[in-house]
Amino acid sequence: MLFSKFPLAGGTLANRIIMAPMTRSRTSQPGDVPNDLMATYYQQRATAGLIIAEGTPISAVARGYSLTPGIYSKAHIEGWKKTTEAVHQQGGKIFLQLWHVGRRSHTDIAGEQPVAPSAIKQPDQVYGPLAEGGFGMVETSIPRAMTTEDIQQTTADFVQAALNAIEAGFDGVELHGAHGYLLDQFMRSASNQRLDNYGGSQQNRLRFPLEVIKAVNDAIGADKVAIRLSPLVGEGFKETDSDIIELTELLLKQLAPMSLAYVHFSENIGEYTEATDSFRQKIRQIYPNPIMVAGKLTKQSAQTILDKGYADLVAFGTPYVSNPDLVRRFKHNIELTEFDADARLTLYGGDETGYTDYPAAN
């Protein structure tokens, strides 16, 4: 099943092997504009059934990591066209992951005080400008609680970013609702202690994510919209919320009638709980539409998930860093180039080294 076709977003994926979104911080400055180097990187990996391009801030205040590409200016749109055209020339499909980091940011990155459901700082570090010059890991700033007007503006920012993505040539968008970023922050009681309609009960904590999903669906069509979730991973990769599984089930029940492109589960990262067969069976029972799973999968474990019917699509992150021809290597049982310590050092920032210089197998 790994190599079988799959219908998605009005088209057909050549296979079910997906390139997961990964921050690589290679934009052109000033303006964090997608460039030719990024287009080459994605084009090299276009044999994936679908590429999900890296998390892309929907506005300046949504930004939490330096050198990440935006999708909120004309320059961003024109820059991303280089990538979408390069991928489509190879017969590939590509979605853009729309990103708002919420409280996981720093004033020097966002250009203003970061925003969040509640004014609660999370001890964390993000990739930003250093006082002595250059870039490195900096401690997050204390966020301010979003007003109702902030929430409405952010929903509008998601919609405009989705429209911009379609203008840039993407086949669809994935909303980043995982890993302790803004949509996830609203869903979890540890980060959402609001007393209005956007906090408290499970349905209230789902209100903002659902408003965003519905608004983006209305703007570009639900078949071109997906969402990434991480209920088995701690918020910010730390301890999990006690009711996040139950809340996720409630969310999926409300998403099921919308016929989204897919729901993407990110697993096995940071502080995580192992996905059991009973968990996967329950999710599939609640949500009959396309499901994608990512998280340290191997060819064998991915095939098993597909065979059991727990997912329709399987995504790979770090294997795609060092194996641009991952599909061919899987198909012909060619040994993978290891993602090692040197590869990890070149994940963020820099030039083509550790980015576009990994060769395809002979």
Q: Is the link from the previous residue into 30 a cis peptide, with omega within 30 of 0? A: yes
Beta-carbon contacts of 12 under 8 Å, excluding residues fewer than 6 positions away, are 5, 6
∠ CA 279-280-283, rounded to 5°: 85
Q: Which residues pair with 95 in a beta bridge?
A: 52, 172
Three-class secondary structure of residue 162 per DSSP: helix
Cα separation values, 148 from 71, 145, 189, 225, 272, Å:
24, 10, 18, 24, 32
Please give the full DSSP string across 13-58, using - where no structure is assigned. ES-SEEE--------BTTTTB--HHHHHHHHHTTTSSEEEEEEEES
- 72 included as an active-site residue: no
Question: Which residues contact residue 301 at a Cβ distance below 8 angstroms, ignoring those fewer than 6 apart?
Answer: none
Q: How far is CA 357 from the centre of its chain?
A: 24
Q: Select which of 41, 42, 72, 181 is catalytic.
A: 181
Helix (H) or strand (E) holding 186: helix 182-187
Which residues form the catalytic set? 181
